[in-house]
Structure formats: C-alpha cells, structure tokens
Chains A and B, each alone.
Chain A
C-alpha cells in the first residue's frame, strides 16, 4: 500500500462550477478526515468518517460542501457553486482505530483548488 492518495492534485475552476475531490485512504484504516488549509495557515478540520458513517462536520462546512464515504473505503468531497473563498488545499488523512498503533494520522499530498 502506497499511503493515502488524493485526486486531482490540482484543480482550477471558474466561480460557480462544481468540483469533486477523491481520497483513497490506507486500506486497513477505518477513520478518514478532511481538512482545509489556506495559504500561511494551519489546516482546519472539515469532517470525519468512521467507516461509512460521517460522525462529525465542522461549521466551516457550508451547505455547498458535501462529503461521502459510501462503502467505508474511498471518500469524495464535493463543492457546489464554488466561490473564490473556497480556494485552498484540501487535505485528506486516515488513521486506524484506537488501540495498537493508535491515532497516528497519515496524510495525502492534498488537492489544491483555485477558483477564478
């Protein structure tokens, strides 16, 4: 397994368009997280899945944002009607359950979104 992968790595879109990002976590990890990072800032939590269940969503995640993890494996993050303020790096991370190698996060390389 090569770690957490994200696709696409870069996306340039026009304001108002919809975009979708995909994250493939490490295969045995049941926890998956989405974070957003703007330039010069630390990442901010967006949402968290345990298996297919979305257990928590940040208030940063407006109605235009939706995330899914339909089979408890890969996840998608969709942004509808993009705005320039959505421009950021979208980071995905996964981890294994508590116990054993507990809680260490493995991050993907991120998907950079630029909204023109």
Chain B
C-alpha cells in the first residue's frame, strides 16, 4: 500500500461541472501539497496546507488531519483545467522532501 493514495486515477468531466479529487495518506505529515502538472512536465504548486481549508480562485483544498484525508475541489471546471493533479505530503522539517501520490488525470471537455 502506497503512503499517499489518490482517487480517482482518471476523471472526465464536462465544462462547468464541480470536480473533487481525493487524497488519503498513512504517515504523519507536516504539510500536504496539491500540485498541477501539464503535459510536457512542468509542475506548479497549487496549495500547501497543514489544516483547514484554502481557496484560490475556483480551486479549494481541504484537509482533515484526524482522518488523514484531503480533497481538492474545482468549481465551474474549464477545459484549461485539464492536467494531472498530484497530492504530496511532507514530514518533519524538510518541507520539500515530498512523498507523491500517483496523480489524477483530469480531462474537462467543452
């Protein structure tokens, strides 16, 4: 069993739909990261959170430390949101040494 598990692995949506991607982890963490990766490789950090909820534009990330679970929500999805969304966790004082989930491939159709 991986330390970080994401679901679903693949997600297809129609433009405008509300999207949820889930992440569960089995280790103690200091922070959880949501990342976006477009074809060609570049990774962009969307959120880093250790408790509660963060919002940026149409993106919302929540984390429940007790349940070791986080969700990434996209409201009013758009084809440009199509990408791989990756959950990763960090522990201790090395914030950047991340353990990654396998990613969720999101495709939003117009």
What mask results when residues 29 to 45 of chain B are scored 1 for a CB within 8 Å of chain A, else 0?
Answer: 00101010000111111
C-alpha gap A45/B42 in the complex (Å): 16
In the complex formed, the residue of A with least CB distance to B94 is A48
- Count of A-B residue pairs with CB < 8 Å: 68
Name the residue in B31, B44, B48 with the highest tally of chain A Cβ atoms < 10 Å from its Cβ.
B48
In the complex, whether A23 has a CB less than 8 A from a CB of chain B is no
When distances are taken between beta carbons in the complex, the residues of chain B under 8 Å from A93 are: 43, 96
If A104-B48, A105-B33 touch, whether A45 touches B43 (CB-CB below 8 Å) is no
Interface residues on A, range: 20 to 34
Please classify the interface of chain A as helix (H, G, I), strand (E, B), loop, or mixed, using the class held by over half of its residues: strand
A43 to B102, CA, bound (A): 8
Q: How far, in angstroms, from A102 to B93 measured CA to CA in the complex?
A: 10
Known: A42-B86, A42-B102. A33 touches B41 (CB 8 A): no
- Output the nearest chain B residue to A37 by Cβ-Cβ distance: B41
A89 close to chain B: CB less than 8 A? yes
Q: Are A105 and B42 in contact (CB under 8 A)?
A: no
Is the Cβ of A98 less than 8 Å from the Cβ of B93? Answer: yes
A65 beta carbon closer than 8 Å to chain B: no
- Residue in chain A with minimal CB distance to B84: A42
Q: Is the CB of B45 within 8 A of A106?
A: yes
| Residues in A lying within 8 Å of B, measured CB to CB | 31, 33, 35, 37, 40-45, 48, 55-56, 89, 91, 93-95, 98, 102-110, 112
The 10 closest A-B pairs by CB, nearest first: A103-B95, A42-B100, A110-B41, A107-B43, A109-B42, A95-B96, A33-B96, A42-B102, A43-B100, A104-B48
